[in-house]
């Protein structure tokens, strides 16, 4: 990576957006009256007991469709930004290539960015990664190296690849250039919803690159930012740390949540933005059944392709009673306009069939 990165501020995001604009899509922002009505109606939540008094907020959604981004996910933003900055570094050797570890979307994004600039890409992917994501990454010309599923196992293989090739590491989330690239989605969302002012944006949190970048995009704007996670097998590491007595980041996560893009622990640099700078107003978690219910609604009501990780934020707004009660209290009769980032759409038909087979 480049030896220095710009400061983690909103102006740096504006510079990042200008740099990557030629290489990314301006993805659309969609609305849906049916989902607004469902979110604004008190109703029992899938897989959780009914509250004694279900919350009754007024919510208007604005969906930033990064599932329509290049490679089918927001990760193209960070990969192109990081690689463009790396190319400008005098210490970078293009022929040695770049390396990363990823379960799928960052892998595809870096493979595409590297191919764009004729740079070799070495991608360490867990053996449990979705086969379609592995195939897509290889299709962009990257060399695939299998690994175990935990971040520790992935990073150990990356270290060996660097020794072997001299490739430069472009991390999936824990780097300033990645965060600044991902945060450009939040900038676009704010511009596209004007003149309707957003009250909040909710984004999924795995490694935290998108959530922390989105938080930077909203700094000083008055827009609140919230994080969303699966709770299955401890995948809600950021939520648990956020509300713990110490606020200490949880460095290891091992979960097989259906939201496979969110199986990683939040990174140190994202955590410094999310928690230490308090740029994220709260963290919320949902069950596997709630994720599937939200996903089904998007397919049936919006007619667009999303992967499980993409709808975790929507699931929070629809089903998490703590979040919904907060919106009801703070939004009052007017309610809130909430931006929801649909992070990706890389899911195979076989996987969809298994998800909804029951």
Tell me whether strands 59-65 and 29-30 are parallel, antiparallel or unpaired.
antiparallel
Cα gap 166→145, rounded to integer Å: 15
Cα gap 95→116, rounded to integer Å: 14
Tokens (6 digits) for 51? 């509250």
Beta strands in the chain (DSSP E): 29-30, 59-65, 98-101, 121-126, 143-147, 168-169, 200-204, 224-230, 282-286, 336-342
List the catalytic residues: 75, 103
Cα gap 43→20, rounded to integer Å: 42
Cα gap 11→217, rounded to integer Å: 9
Tell me whether strands 143-147 and 336-342 are parallel, antiparallel or unpaired.
unpaired
Burial 259-284 (b: 16+ CB within 10 A, else e): bbbbbbbbbebbbebbbeeebbbbbb
Cβ atoms within 10 Å of 204's Cβ, excluding its own: 29
């Amino acid at each position: 990576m480049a030896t220095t990165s710009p400061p983690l501020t909103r102006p740096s995001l504006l510079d990042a957006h200008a740099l990557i604009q030629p290489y990314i899509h301006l993805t659309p922002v969609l609305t849906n009256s049916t989902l607004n009505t469902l979110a604004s109606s008190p109703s029992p939540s899938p897989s959780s007991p009914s509250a004694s008094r279900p919350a009754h907020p007024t919510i208007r959604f604005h969906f930033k469709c990064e599932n329509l981004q290049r490679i089918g996910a927001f990760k193209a933003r960070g990969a192109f930004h990081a690689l463009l900055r790396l190319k400008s570094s005098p210490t970078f050797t293009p022929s040695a290539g770049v390396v990363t570890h990823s379960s799928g979307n960052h892998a595809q994004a870096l493979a595409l960015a590297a191919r764009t600039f004729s740079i070799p890409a070495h991608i360490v992917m867990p053996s449990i990664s979705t086969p379609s994501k592995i195939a897509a990454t290889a299709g962009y010309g990257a060399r695939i190296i299998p690994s175990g599923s935990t971040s520790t196992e992935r990073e150990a293989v990356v270290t060996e690849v660097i020794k072997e090739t001299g490739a430069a590491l472009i991390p999936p989330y824990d780097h300033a250039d990645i965060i600044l690239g991902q945060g450009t989605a939040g900038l676009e969302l704010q511009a596209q919803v004007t003149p309707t002012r957003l009250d909040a944006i909710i984004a999924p949190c795995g490694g935290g690159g998108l959530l922390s970048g989105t938080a930077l995009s909203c700094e000083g704007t008055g827009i609140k930012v919230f994080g969303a996670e699966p709770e299955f097998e401890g995948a809600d590491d950021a939520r648990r740390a956020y509300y713990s007595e110490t606020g200490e980041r949880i460095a290891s996560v091992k979960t097989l949540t259906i939201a496979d893009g969110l199986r990683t622990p939040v990174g140190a640099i994202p955590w410094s933005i999310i928690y230490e700078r308090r740029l994220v107003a709260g963290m919320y978690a949902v069950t596997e059944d709630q994720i599937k219910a939200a996903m089904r609604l998007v397919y049936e009501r919006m007619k667009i392709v999303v992967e499980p990780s993409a709808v975790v934020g929507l699931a929070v707004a629809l089903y998490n009673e703590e979040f919904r009660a907060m919106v009801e209290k703070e939004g009052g009769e007017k309610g809130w306009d909430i931006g929801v980032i649909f992070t990706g759409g890389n899911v195979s038909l076989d996987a969809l069939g298994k998800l909804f087979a029951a």
